Amino acid sequence: MTTLRAMRAVVGGGVVALAALGVVASGARAQHEGHGMTQPPAAPTTPAQSAGSRKVTMEELHQSGGVPRGWKFALPDGNPVKGRQVFVDLECYKCHAIQGENFPASGGDAKNVGPELTGMGGQHPAEYFAESILAPNAVILDGPGFTGPDGKSIMPSYADSLSVAQLVDLVAFLQGLTGGGHMHAMAPAEQTTDVYTVRLDYRGGSEHAGHEGHSAGAAPGHLMVFVLDRATGEPVPYLPVSATIRAAGKPAHRVTLAPMVGGQGFHYGANVTLPDGAHTITLRIGPVAVQAMPAVKGRFAKPAKVVFERGA
């Protein structure tokens, strides 16, 4: 992989087709010398229905422009550990350095060396990375190390070299690169209640080091909780949200999450260090703290509890 340059939040048609239909690109051919890999069996073309699925009528689709109200395309969660192996199999390390990783020495063409990826994960959403992998010429950054003599990106497309699973795993690995060294990689997770869609994201990183309340050497990351109205997909503000973090052999740690706005949009967040290994994060969402209009009265009045389990 030469350079992740065509990065933007709007997903190109190639990504939508792959993720939505579960189509695995065939013909596992190398994009240029040293960038091929053996393909696994094709992914199923009929993915299992998500627990957060909802039904709509054709009339509702037409009334809202052909998609459900509040609809937004997003990549499914990936496995960053498997994604790291994809990064190795594709020999991406020959063109992209990552501090803290013990990859083989480069040896690639110096003229085609792409940007260092250390800390890149905290700067872009998942779809931003996915498009750069599948359609690097969708957006081209002009300058040395980004474009070739023909004016196109020197990053090859991997649309014909990755299965859907490999793509989402690779993106999860890249999203875990959020600090100055090897960071605590954690792919976003999502659960639903009868009222909310709750998305949990943690960006570990040394860029947060030095905040009060954290011991030296344990650089906190940023815990983000996105609480959306399950019916509309819109963020729900003015909710009391807290997180309780539990790990075997350690005392439970409870933190109140504050409403804030960042590069990922409105969320409830706090700077906190998550433990290594298996642990659980229990989120408690209280009743909405402002007056509710009659149309939604009672919908946001009941507290909710969501538990996320993280493996070692």
Cβ neighbors of 200 (< 8 A, separation 6 or more) are 188, 189, 190, 223, 224, 225, 281, 283, 308
Quick one: pLDDT at residue 10? 33
Quick one: pLDDT at residue 29? 35
Q: Choose which CATH entry (1.25.60.10, 2.40.180.10, 2.60.40.2480, 2.60.40.10) describes domain 189-310.
A: 2.60.40.2480
H helices of the chain, in order, are 13-21, 58-63, 80-89, 126-134, 164-175
Provide the phi-psi class of 145: left if phi over 0, else alpha when psi is between -120 and 50, else beta: left
CATH number for the domain running over 1-180: 1.10.760.10
Closest by CA position to 257, among listed 304, 214, 225, 229: 225
Q: Measured between alpha carbons, how far apart are the two ends of the chain, in Å?
A: 29
Quick one: pLDDT at residue 237? 94
- Each domain of the chain, given as residue ranges in start order, spans 1-180, 189-310
Which residues, in sequence order, are bridge partners of residue 307? Answer: 282
Which tens digits make up the pLDDT trace of 226-273? 999 998 889 999 999 999 999 988 899 999 999 998 767 899 999 888
Quick one: pLDDT at residue 106? 63
Phi, psi of 37 (to 5 degrees): -155, 155
Could you say which residues of the chain have pLDDT below 50? 2-49, 181-185, 206-218
pTM listed for this prediction:
0.45
Six-digit token string for 269: 């967040």
Which tens digits make up the pLDDT trace of 162-181? 999 999 999 999 988 876 54
C-alpha 154/C-alpha 120 separation (Å) is 19
Quick one: pLDDT at residue 107? 57
Closest by CA position to 108, among listed 1, 194, 250, 10: 1
Query: Hey, which bits of the chain come out as E strands?
Result: 189-192, 196-203, 221-229, 241-246, 253-262, 265-272, 279-285, 304-310
